[in-house]
Structure formats: C-alpha cells, structure tokens
Amino acid sequence: SLVPTVKDLNSIYSINVDAQAKRYARLNETFEKTYGSKPEFIARAPGRVNIIGEHIDYCGFQVFPMAIAPDTLIAARANGSSRVRVANIDSEKYPARDFSATDDVFDIDSKVHEWSNYFKCGYRGVFDYLGRRDGKGFDVLLDGTVPAGSGLSSSAAFVCATELAVQRINNVDLTQSQLASIAAGAECHVGVNSGGMDQTASIMGQQGSALFIEFHPELRATPVKFPETNPPLAFIIANTLVVSDKHVTAPVCYNLRVVETRVGALILAKHLGVADRPACRDVDPLTFKIVMDECFAGRESAGKDETQVWVERLSKILDESKKAFGAHPEGYMRDQMAAALDMTSDELSNKIHESQFPVRAERFQILNRAQHVFSETLRVVKFRQICENPSGDVAEKLGTLMNQSQDSCRDLFECSCPELDELCLIARSAGAYGSRLTGAGWGGCSVHMVAADKVEQVKKALAEQYYAKRYPQLTAEQLSDALFATTPGCGACYYV
C-alpha cells in the first residue's frame, strides 16, 4: 500500500498534540521566512523502539519494533529550478546546503561526517531504484526530534522522510515496502550496513500495534497488539545520553558484528554441507536465516504448530553452531576464518566487502555472536506467541524474555555498556517487568515494559538514581527528552 496523507495531527499523535501543532506551525513559518512561500506538504517519518530482537534483522530473522512519536519532519516545495536547497530548523548546528538536482546531490563521501549525507542517501535511493537521475529542484526544511545516536533510529527517520519528500515532488508513488527496502539499502552510502528493521518500522508502523517484521524470503510486516492486562502495559524509553555514533564506531562495533555474523553464516553453511546449494552459493550476503532454511529444506512441518517448528529448528541450529564454531571459543583470528573457508585473507576481505565496510578486530567472536542470534530469534518468536495467545501472567512472561535479551546482548553480543546495564537494573528494582537496550547498543537508549500504574514510579527512580547522579546539569526539558513513556505510534505519512 501507499504512504497515507493526513490532514489532522490527531491521526498521527496520541499524546501532546497541542505541542506538536505549535511545532508544525513553527516549521511552516520558518520555511516561509527561509524560502519566501509556504511548503506544499510536510513528510513525516518516525523513529522506532525495538521491543525485542536485537542485531538479528541483518541475519535475516524477525524483529518486534514499534514506531514512536519522536520523528523527522521535512517541509518541502518544488522551486521550479534545478537546485535542491536543504535547510534545518537548527541552522547553527546543521548549516544549509545547496545541490544540483541532477548532479552533486548524488555524490556522498561516507568518510565525511556531514548531516546532509542522510538527505542525499534518501534522494539517491529513490532515483537509483527508478534507474534515472532527472530530479526536480525543490526546497526543504527539516526538523527532527529523534535524538541522534540514541538507538531510536534518527538516521532511518531522516532517510525515510527524505524519500517521501523526493517521491512526492517528482510525482512518483512507491509502495511502503518498496520505500522501506530502498531506505535500508541507501544507508550503505554513509557506510552503515543496515538490516531493514528501522526503515520498515518507520514507514509501516501502526498506531496501537507493534510490528512483527520478517525479511526472508520477502519483507512482511504483521501488526501485533500487546495483550490486554490489568493494569495495561506501558513502555518507558530511557536514554543513557552516551552517544553511540554508528557511522564513527562502525569498524569496531556495528559493522564488525555484521561481519562476524556473515562469516559465521559462511562457515556454518560449510559445516552443514549446504554451502554449494544455489540458495547459499548464489546469494550475497549469505545470512544465518538462509543457512537455517537450507538446513531444513524439504523437512515435513505440516500439521505442526508454527511456533513449535521454530523452537525445534532454532534449538537444532544452536547445537550445530556450537559444533561448527566450538573449536574457537576464544574467537577466530582472520587467517583462521579464511582457512575455515578455504580462502586467502584477501579473498575473505572481498567476500565481506571490507573496502566498503571496514572492520578492525584481533579476534572475531563468531561462536558467541551465533548463540545470541539464534537464541534472540527464539525469544522474538515466543514474544509474539504470548501476545497473540495470552495465558497466565503474560506481563511476567514478556518481561522475562526482555531481561534474557538484555543478558544476551551484554554477554554474548557485547553491545551493551555500563550505563545501559545500570538503567536496566534501576528500572527492574523499581518494578519494571522487563528492561533491555534497544537499537544497536554501546550507549543510546533502553526500553522498559511496566504496568501503566507504575510509570511514574519507575521514571522517578531512573531520574533520581541515574540522571540526577550522572547528569545533574540537565534541565527539566532535557530530562523529558531523555526519559519518557511511549505507546505504539503511527508510521510515515504526508501532512497537508
């Protein structure tokens, strides 16, 4: 389906609608002051919080995010020229840029950390997909409320909102799934090896529902409502205020994890004897999900409960991964990975596209990363099953899965940090059912599932025991940006 157009802010936001109305009015006024006329429309794409399923989207497995209220807004108007003029509400921090609609707007230097590169990613993504470079000139003013480096997908919101603006100005109507897939691929131009969860949640989010997102064999997003409980479930987002810049730290953090799982998939396929099958041999990149599917290809699952099939297959593949990588519990040296795949180090470097996504590591922790990926996928499957078929103490069950996910992220995937661990500990002690990091980790945000009547109690504990101690200089406004309750929000749209 296509991106919806709305005329009422109540269709987008369920809380603080008056504050949003003032924000939109300010965006319109600043646009008119900057460019001399009002915008034709505002393209809006939200950030997201991932409830469970971390670092498994780029392995081909399902995730469980929801869109949130913080978002990127792009006011836009065709200008009848061949120039694309890009400005930001925060013009001191993000200076205005001016590009040719058919030339340098396509040039992205991933080595330079420049805010407008994300605009260029969205712009180029649309035109690369269309196979042309004949864009119309237009004026843009951007306003973003998703904190950068927080793990709430500020970059995806920016790229997705840009796509929306670009297609409407150029009279193109791409579907939501096409836009999500284009946006995921486009972030490679800034050197980030994105999996697709953030962009799909941003574009296809639905008010009141989380999304169960599957990537393989094709992109599919199924809305899933949280179970009704008494008191109802609520979510709190708490930002560590430790900025984890995916672009800057990629070689030792995010991209390194992607490479560890990709090499793991190659070695596992060889171990299982499926590496030469076309589904594994002719695909780039090979993911753990493809390897698992090939391992069980042709196995009879008719009549079995879908969740039970997942449980059986993931348990089996977990055992196999321990056999495949168990000889290197302390990690693989680069030459050991190459030898395991009968390759030279240079061939391996080419295979994992290291020229585009450079990584630095003495040892590659493939066993631990694989164990996290398969166990985390199992938690996502169980989480959805509990939401759709609730029985017993569902809040306790869902919270336990979130807590187990945090333990795995910390111990096996090593993407937590002391500040995230501390936030989770404080929230659980104050009564949260489940607490975990959300997003890539290494800083950024945490998400906490709580009973609605305990929201203020948990927020108070976090404010006093974390923020007051670590960041005593925070203003009330800064604290409310860092620590807030949220509900599943609306996905990308046009506001006119």
Return all residues near 494 (Cβ < 8 A) that are at least 6 apart: 3, 4, 5, 6, 41, 42, 43, 44, 164, 168
Q: Which residues contact 395 (CB under 8 A, 6 or more apart)?
A: 229, 233, 433, 449, 451
Q: Does a cis peptide bond (omega within 30 degrees of 0) precede residue 285?
A: yes
Tokens of 76: 């836009």
Q: Are 66 and 233 in contact (CB under 8 A)?
A: no
How many other CB atoms are there within 10 angstroms of residue 353's CB atom? 17
Please report how many Cα atoms fall inside a 13 Å half-sphere around the Cα of residue 44, on the Cβ side.
Answer: 30
Which residues lie closer than 8 Å to 206 by C-beta, 6 or more apart? 67, 223, 488, 490, 491
Token pair in block for residue 417:
């940090």
Instruction: Tell me the one-letter amino acid at 15.
Output: I
The burial class, CB within 10 Å (0-12 / 13-18 / 19+), for 273 is exposed
Distance of CA 490 to CAs 89, 129, 448, Å?
Answer: 23, 26, 20
Where are any strands of DSSP class E within 159-308? Answer: 210-214, 220-224, 233-239
CA distances from 240 to 235, 257, 345, 481 (A): 16, 21, 38, 11
Catalytic residues: 198
